[in-house]
A and B are shown apart, each in its own frame.
Chain A
């Protein structure tokens, strides 16, 4: 990476030289714009991995379209247009694959601590499972669907062929009963 801070005038000069085949100027240009792109992207995404991916996409796009850069115009707006396009493209794919709804626990210790069952609490989980064994089938199913699987009372009512209010009452009573059993 370029150590000293480069200016957009230098970027323009390097881009013009790169169009003429100057590999050194091109290397300087790519090394200068890479951290700039990452810094701009990370401000709007707050995701290090996404910023790295977008930065790589931008560098490849700059390479593909360098012939379309006009030396009479400043380099930065040209770069920004590519950067915004690639960021939007990335986000579109990201949401299409529903990656905003998933996460990895690899090296994501904060998420793991907050959301993944601690194995040392396994005894508690077994106690809950044992307590649930003592419930009737319908009560257990309603409780499991609402409190564990996250269905709404209306969805459960439709599934079970019951009144919504009856489902809510059942879930509430089961919760109280389980709390009593686990005290």
Chain B
């Protein structure tokens, strides 16, 4: 059989298999994930209880700036993740650039605070790392399952955005519950770094995970 016949057969077969389909909407998935995640984080907050000085923290401009920044990362990376599960990203590739830029600002913010605080790495507790990973693991799996159903042409970016969205969610959850907060380096080592390492490990398999 010639190549030309193969193509004609394939086209004929695909045309025969066609059935009316429901168009996919990028906002539906992400709304579902955000609602699920907020409920989950609400559960985590209810379980661990808000930290003692939360009301006081909410009146400080630095804490509010940090929370708004992380909320921005959460929103933009979650949106980018949703758009990335469409082949053409719905031509909204700029959203992931915003998410990455905000993440860059957060890293600078963390670095500046660590320098100001003197960078005491002795605050590391392995148990707190487990808590961070535990809080973030379930939303991460949920987001991967949601985006796996998509048709991404940029699997590594998709995994990066998923990791950013979940890290931001976990950061918010832990920042308002964790009674052991002492310094920015503590937050960095326990809320961000373990999950970033876990996310990077998943990143190696992005092409396989988001295969279609």
Q: Which residues of A contact B85 (CB under 8 A)?
A: 68
CB-defined interface of B1-45 with A at 8 Å, one 1/0 digit per residue? Answer: 001001110111011111111111000000000000000000000
> What's the least CB distance linking A59 to chain B, in Å?
6
B11:A19 contact, CB within 8 angstroms: no
A66 and B21 contact, Cβ closer than 8 Å, known pairs A23-B15, A30-B11, A52-B3? yes
B88 interface hit (Cβ, 8 Å): yes
- Smallest Cβ-Cβ distance to B155: which chain A residue: A85
B87 interface hit (Cβ, 8 Å): yes
B11:A81 contact, CB within 8 angstroms: no
> What's the least CB distance linking B95 to chain A, in Å?
15
A73:B91 contact, CB within 8 angstroms: yes
A21 interface hit (Cβ, 8 Å): yes
Within 8 A of B (CB), among A62-108: 63-71, 73, 77-78, 80-82, 84-85
A27:B15 contact, CB within 8 angstroms: yes
Within 8 A of A (CB), among B91-143: 91
A56:B10 contact, CB within 8 angstroms: yes
Work out how many contacts link A and B, with CB atoms closer than 8 A: 86
A64 and B212 contact, Cβ closer than 8 Å, known pairs A81-B87, A81-B89? yes
> What's the least CB distance linking B198 to chain A, in Å?
25
B183 interface hit (Cβ, 8 Å): no
A56:B6 contact, CB within 8 angstroms: yes
B51 interface hit (Cβ, 8 Å): no
A106 vs B90: C-alpha distance when bound (angstroms): 44
Q: Which residues of B contact A21 (CB under 8 A)?
A: 18-21
A21 vs B21: C-alpha distance when bound (angstroms): 7
Q: Which residues of B contact A82 (CB under 8 A)?
A: 87, 153
B150 interface hit (Cβ, 8 Å): yes
Q: Which of A30, A67, A85 has a CB less than 8 Å from the CB of B21?
A: A67
Residue from A1, A34, A69, A84 having most chain B Cβ neighbours under 10 A:
A69
> What's the least CB distance linking B209 to chain A, in Å?
15
A181 interface hit (Cβ, 8 Å): no
B86 interface hit (Cβ, 8 Å): yes
A67 vs B10: C-alpha distance when bound (angstroms): 19
Q: Which residues of B contact A60 (CB under 8 A)?
A: 10, 14
Q: Which residues of A contact B6 (CB under 8 A)?
A: 52, 56
A60 vs B85: C-alpha distance when bound (angstroms): 17
Q: Which residues of A contact B88 (CB under 8 A)?
A: 73, 77-78, 80-81
Q: Which residues of B contact A65 (CB under 8 A)?
A: 87, 151, 212
- A26-B18, A66-B21, A78-B87 known, 9 other contacts, Cβ within 8 Å: A22-B18, A23-B15, A27-B12, A31-B11, A52-B3, A55-B7, A68-B86, A69-B23, A77-B91
29 contacts between A and B (CB under 8 A): A19-B23, A20-B20, A21-B18, A21-B20, A21-B21, A22-B18, A23-B18, A24-B15, A26-B18, A27-B11, A30-B15, A52-B3, A59-B7, A59-B11, A59-B14, A64-B212, A68-B24, A68-B85, A68-B150, A70-B86, A70-B90, A73-B88, A73-B90, A78-B87, A80-B88, A81-B153, A82-B153, A85-B153, A85-B154
